[in-house]
Amino acid sequence: MAVKEMVYGFFIPSVTLIGIGASKQIPAKIRALGGTKPLLVTDKGITACGITKQITDLLDAAGMQYKVYDETIPNPTDKNVHDGVEIYRKNKCDSLISLGGGSSHDCGKGIGLVVANGGKIHDFEGLDKSKSPMPPYLAVNTTAGTASEMTRFCIITDTSRKVKMAIVDWRTTPGAAIDDPMLMVGMPPALTAATGMDALTHAVEAYVSTIATPMTDACAEKSIKLIAKYLRKAVANGEDIEARDAMCYAQYLAGMAFNNASLGHVHAMAHQLGGFYDLPHGECNAILLPHVQRVNLNAKLERFAEMAEFLGENITGLSVRDAADKCLQAIQTLSTDIGIPAGLIELGKRYGKDVKKKDIKVMTKNAQKDACGLTNPKKLTDAEVAAIYEAAL
Domain boundary among 167, 183, 199: 183
User: For residue 124, what is the enclosing H or E element?
Assistant: none
Contact 259, 266 (CB under 8 A): no
Domain boundary among 150, 183, 216: 183
Angstrom distances, CA of residue 335 to CA of 2, 159, 198, 283, 341: 47, 30, 11, 9, 8
The confidence band for 186, taking pLDDT boundaries of 50, 70 and 90, is: confident
Nearest CA-CA partner of 135 in 155, 108, 105: 108
What is the rounded CA–CA span in Å between residue 107 and residue 73?
9
Q: Tens digits of per-residue pLDDT, 122-163?
A: 999 999 999 999 999 999 999 998 999 999 999 999 999 988
What is the rounded CA–CA span in Å between residue 324 and residue 260?
24
Same domain, yes or no: 214 and 315: yes
Amino acid, single-letter form, for residue 21: G
Domain annotation covers residue 4? no
Same domain, yes or no: 112 and 159: yes
Angle CA 291–268–5, to nearest 5 = 110
What is the rounded CA–CA span in Å between residue 259 and residue 41?
22
Coil, strand, or helix at residue 363?
A: helix
Rg, the chain, Cα only: 20
What is the rounded CA–CA span in Å between residue 147 and residue 141?
8
Angle CA 379–147–114, to nearest 5 = 90
Domain annotation covers residue 5? no
Domain boundary among 134, 157, 183: 183
Same domain, yes or no: 199 and 346: yes
Amino acid, single-letter form, for residue 227: I
Q: Tens digits of per-residue pLDDT, 300-325?
A: 999 999 999 999 999 999 999 999 99
Q: Which domain holds residue 300?
A: 189-392
Q: Tens digits of per-residue pLDDT, 256-280?
A: 999 999 999 999 999 999 988 999 9
Question: 2 pLDDT exceeds 80?
Answer: no
Output the pLDDT for position 317. Answer: 97
What is the rounded CA–CA span in Å between residue 225 and residue 200?
10
Domain annotation covers residue 3? no
Same domain, yes or no: 71 and 133: yes
Output the pLDDT for position 3. Answer: 73
Q: What is the average pLDDT score of the chain? A: 96
What is the rounded CA–CA span in Å between residue 383 and residue 117?
39
Same domain, yes or no: 195 and 167: no
Contact 175, 30 (CB under 8 A): no
Give the residues across from 138 on adjacent strands.
97, 176
Output the pLDDT for position 5. Answer: 82
Same domain, yes or no: 179 and 258: no
Q: What is the CATH number of the domain that holds 63?
A: 3.40.50.1970
Question: 4 pLDDT exceeds 80?
Answer: no
Regarding pTM above 0.85, the answer is yes
Q: Tens digits of per-residue pLDDT, 202-214?
A: 999 999 999 999 9
Output the pLDDT for position 1. Answer: 63
Same domain, yes or no: 169 and 231: no
